[in-house]
């Protein structure tokens, strides 16, 4: 067996939950509480093995530490996975058992939605647990986080446009959006309002039908391969991770890459290929923090305020601008510049709080 301490040398705490009565098998990973309690969503997914689930939750929780740090939130990084097919395994009893498990962590970890979990599920979890965000608006929650995720991506794209062309407007630019699900369709709305020409692709026809009904001026292409070969100014990956492969970067004609998808770089080194081709890459975890900002606002003692959260998410423009400027100044990739900024904040605030980061 791999030594768990070797697998997660940076993580503060990893906790397993098992509830045979409901079929709940979950793992919570707390990467860091240097900035505050760990916040991150619950991914409900039919992992092939426990090892795959564990590796995913470790990676995802680490990413949340960096995302919260860069967004200037007083939150640490954590994430949870529930192992199983949500379509067959999810039940009120299971969600409530999961709520009792999260409650047992005493607030060191606060949960939210992720792939396979929705605001209505968080309402159920919250019946057993005080440390839940992403609940429905009817239950005092922040609702669907994709609204401010898309808004933040749009702000990041404006900053990247400024770095590429000297002006923040997307008017007259051709923007390709891969994936018009929850985030992608809101992003398209911002782009159309700003005067961009939008080209989209999505393998799921109902998502395209909804989008085209709202925005008949948007052009649809058959596949992501076709989209990246278009004469785009901006490419916005808004579907799955790993969108930026060597093959995609080789054919990409866009000057800017900025999208919502997590973990866009398919492997280390892709960021260098992007830079070599003169492409401005706005790091994913920098620009897609709007949803985290939205659900984090639920923790405010005065209750959730969409206006306050949106105001905060508009700061993604300055953060992206800072990251891109630092990358130029230090001659490093924007991804590395973002990591450095996040690590500096974790170190500085952690030290103030007496938590030392190596």
Residues interacting with ligand NAD, by CB under 6 A? Answer: 145-146, 149, 178-184, 201-204, 207, 224, 238-241, 260-262, 288, 291
Q: Whose Cβ is closer to ligand NAD: residue 262's or residue 320's?
A: 262
Among candidates 43, 62, 163, which has minimal Cα distance to 115? 43
Please provide the DSSP assignment of 15-84 as one string.
Answer: EEEEETTTTEEEEEEEEE-SSSSEE--EEEE--SSHHHHHHHHHHHHHHHHHHHHHTT-S-EEEEEEEES
Q: Can 272 be counted among the known catalytic residues?
A: no
CB of 20 to ligand NAD, least distance (A): 30
Query: Has 67 been labeled as part of a binding site?
Result: no
Residue closest to ligand NAD when measured from CB atoms: 181
Q: Cα angle vertex 70, ends 66, 71, to 5°? A: 115
Query: Has 183 been labeled as part of a binding site?
Result: yes
Query: Has 120 been labeled as part of a binding site?
Result: no
Query: Has 36 been labeled as part of a binding site?
Result: no
Cα separation of 3 and 249, whole Å? 37
Q: Whose Cβ is closer to ligand NAD: residue 37's or residue 40's?
A: 40
| DSSP state, residue 130 | S
CB 256 within 8 A of CB 196: no
Q: Which ranges of 166-298 does DSSP label H, i.e. alpha helix? A: 182-194, 205-214, 224-228, 246-251, 270-276, 284-287, 290-296
Beta bridge partners of 15: 28
CB of 296 to ligand NAD, least distance (A): 12
CB 259 within 8 A of CB 38: no
Please provide the DSSP assignment of 197-221 as one string.
Answer: EEEEE-S-HHHHHHHHHH-TT-EE-
Cα separation of 175 and 171, whole Å? 10
Among candidates 198, 200, 186, 139, which has minimal Cα distance to 310? 186
| DSSP state, residue 280 | E
Query: Has 90 been labeled as part of a binding site?
Result: no
- Identify the active-site residue in 67, 79, 90, 272: 79
CB of 267 to ligand NAD, least distance (A): 17
End-to-end CA separation in angstroms for the chain: 27
The dihedral formed by the CA atoms of 208, 211, 215 and 217, expressed in degrees to the nearest 10: -20
Among candidates 337, 297, 300, which has minimal Cα distance to 321? 337
CB of 320 to ligand NAD, least distance (A): 15
Query: Has 40 been labeled as part of a binding site?
Result: no
Q: Whose Cβ is closer to ligand NAD: residue 119's or residue 273's?
A: 119
CB of 290 to ligand NAD, least distance (A): 7
CB of 281 to ligand NAD, least distance (A): 16
CB of 18 to ligand NAD, least distance (A): 27
The residues annotated as belonging to the active site are: 79
Annotated binding site for NAD(+): 179-184
Annotated binding site: 179-184
């Amino acid at each position: 067996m791999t030594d768990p301490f070797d697998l997660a040398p940076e993580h503060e705490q990893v906790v397993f939950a098992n509830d045979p009565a409901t079929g709940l098998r979950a793992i919570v990973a707390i990467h860091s509480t240097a900035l505050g309690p760990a916040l991150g969503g619950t991914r409900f997914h039919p992992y092939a093995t426990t090892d795959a689930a564990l590796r995913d939750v470790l990676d995802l929780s680490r990413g949340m530490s960096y995302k919260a740090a860069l967004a200037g939130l007083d939150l640490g990084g954590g994430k949870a996975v529930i192992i199983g097919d949500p379509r067959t395994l999810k039940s009120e009893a299971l969600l409530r058992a999961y709520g009792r498990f999260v409650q047992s962590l005493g607030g060191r970890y606060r949960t939210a939605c992720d792939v396979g979990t929705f605001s209505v599920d968080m309402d159920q979890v919250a019946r057993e647990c005080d440390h839940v965000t992403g609940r429905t608006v009817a239950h005092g929650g922040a609702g669907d986080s994709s609204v401010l995720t898309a808004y933040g991506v749009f702000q990041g794209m404006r900053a990247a446009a400024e770095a590429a062309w000297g002006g923040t407007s997307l008017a007259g630019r051709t923007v390709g959006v891969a994936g018009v699900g929850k985030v992608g369709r809101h992003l398209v709305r911002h782009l159309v309002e700003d005067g961009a020409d939008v080209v989209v692709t999505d393998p799921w026809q109902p998502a395209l039908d909804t989008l085209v009904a709202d925005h008949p001026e948007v052009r649809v292409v058959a596949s992501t391969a076709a989209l990246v070969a278009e004469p785009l100014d901006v490419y916005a990956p808004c579907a799955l991770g790993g969108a930026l492969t060597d093959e995609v970067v080789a054919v990409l004609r866009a000057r800017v890459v900025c999208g919502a998808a997590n973990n866009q770089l398919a492997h280390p080194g892709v960021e260098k290929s992007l830079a070599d081709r003169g492409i401005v890459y706005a790091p994913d975890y920098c620009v897609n923090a709007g949803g985290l900002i939205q659900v984090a606002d639920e923790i405010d003692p005065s209750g959730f305020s969409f206006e306050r959260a949106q105001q905060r998410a508009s700061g993604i423009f300055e953060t992206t601008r800072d990251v891109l400027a630092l990358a130029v100044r230090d001659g490093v990739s924007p991804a590395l510049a973002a990591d450095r900024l996040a690590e500096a904040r974790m170190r500085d605030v952690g030290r103030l709080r007496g938590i030392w980061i190596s």
